[in-house]
Amino acid sequence: MNTLKDFLTLENFMTILYDNENIILSNELVNRVEDSFAFLLEFSKNKVIYGVNTGFGPMAQYRIQEDECIQLQYNLIRSHASGIGNPLSVEQVRAAILARLNTLSLGYSGINLTVIQLMKELLDCHITPLIFAHGSVGASGDLVQLAHLALVLIGEGEVFYKGERRATKEVFELEGLQPIEIRIREGLSLMNGTSVMTGIGILNWSNATKLLDWSVQMSCAINEIVSAYDDHYSVELNQAKLHEGQQYIAKQMRDNLTTSQLVRKREEHLYSGTNQESVFKDKVQEYYSIRCVPQILGPVYDTIQTVKKVLENEINSANDNPIVDMETKQVYHGGNFHGDYISLEMDKLKLVITRLTMLAERQLNYLLNAKINELLPPFVNLGKLGFNYGMQGVQFTATSTTAECQTLSTSMYVHSIPNNNDNQDIVSMGTNAAVLCDKVIENSFEVLAIEMITIAQAIDALDCKDKVSMPTLTWYKEVRAILPTFSEDVVMYPYLQKVKEYLKK
């Protein structure tokens, strides 16, 4: 049972999003919403309240007559349902709906209960509004994208239903659903908010967490392949630097490599007193992409943790305008819809995932370049050199995809462009930041899929699968179930997609 009641953690959010059970609205939630609506209905009489009896944005200076106030809300929704470009994914839209449902249920918005109830039905019935990627500047919230959600809630627009794009009216008739009833300011309350950028952001956080875990696991496997010394992820070395993320990654590596028979202890080799060579055959220290994993992935971990906190705060905050405060019995005007918090965190997350991708690409290059690893055949080619090509072709894909991540990592947070007759004179671009972050994350999964296949080939080239750690052996077997060891050249793209899907599950 998924009951919406109080503070919603990101873990709970993801459970509700993917669970097939219907959402339950708690009595406390229902009471909050109804009390807030009843108060605003009474309070708004004979007062000037933005979006209730005024125009919107720079048109707020115009009073709206009482008999036009309801139509005003419909006008707002229809005029702003103006997105374009690729539709957001079903997953992203569902996340946005859940985020909007939760924030509107806090009792700060003065909406009637039918809004909450119908959003719940959209999620329960897997009816997904058509919302486009392009449209939001992230300042009065996700106005354009949320207008497309509101359009569906009033029974108009289009939805995705059972794999088809259909008219909302048709689908509502099939499911026996009624459009919402606009009573005061339901259009504005739905549209003024950060729920699209936040919903996408939560999915980005979830996928970034998976990427980090895989990056650690693959970094451990490479340490095994090259028989690296274990002191670079030791407690002693990493506790000398006081960053939580670095110490966390080092511990993850220690736990992962406990059962490995391939990593070495420096005291048994270079500290043994028996080395008399003038030029050492074995590397005294590994390349940075192998030796500096805690220092490189540590900031990634720390950033992901900060992103989580900000996203969690946002979905549990009132982010529309104006705010109905039941404690003081007042309505407050301001800018809680501004998406700066999410925009900055998505830029930060995008940066660190690009960095993670760069680490994977350098580790991949190390494995493919026989001149620097001095261990494996060129391109981990298990066939006939010159006649077969091993992983040579897929390196181009990994390199170009990593380069795209680097370009996409340009900040949206600092790219404000004034609009709306300069009423919105500084904006967050938070939704653009979240969408671009999603693209970087998708790219990263692709690069890591290539790296994973390459590591599996390297393990076979060295015939060392019986000596790798248990975590490495586990995923090695699962990847080999997708793509068996190959020496003859194979068409790689279907396998890349399947391994990417394996990484994302």
Catalytic residues: 50
Closest by CA to 338, choosing from 465, 424, 444, 436, is: 424
Strand pairing class (158-161; 164-167): antiparallel
Q: Report the distance separating Cα 347 and Cα 412, nearest Å.
A: 7
Hey, what amino acid is at 153? Answer: L
User: Measured between alpha carbons, how far is 477 from 3 in angstroms, rounded to an integer?
Assistant: 39
Instruction: Determine the Cα angle at 503 with ends 499 and 505, to 5°.
Output: 115
- In SS3 terms, 18-36 reads as HCCCCEEECHHHHHHHHHH
Alpha carbon distance 152, 418 (integer Å) = 29
- Using CA atoms, how far residue 91 sits from 3, 20, 219, 276, 364, in Å, is 20, 14, 30, 61, 31
**Are 100 and 193 within 8 A, CB to CB?**
yes
> How far is Cα 292 from Cα 284, in angstroms, rounded to an integer?
14
Residues 6 or more apart whose Cβ sits within 8 Å of residue 78? 151, 156
Structure tokens at 133: 């990627």
Query: What is the β-pairing status of strands 158-161 and 132-134?
Result: unpaired
Which amino acid, 294?
A: P
3-class secondary structure, 229: strand
Closest Cα partner for 184 from 78, 37, 335? 37
> Token pair for residue 500?
């990417």
Tell me the sheet residues that pair with 331: 324
In contact, 106 and 32? CB cutoff 8 Å: yes
Nearest in space to 433 (alpha carbons), one of 363, 343, 372, 370 = 343
18: how many CB neighbours lie within 10 A of its CB?
A: 10
Tell whether omega for the bond before 322 is within 30 degrees of 0, i.e. cis. yes
Q: What sign results for the dihedral spanned by CA atoms 447, 450, 456, 462?
A: negative
Amino acid letter, 63:
R
Q: Terminal CA-to-CA distance of the chain, rounded, Å?
A: 23
Tell me which residue has tokens 């451990």.
Answer: 220
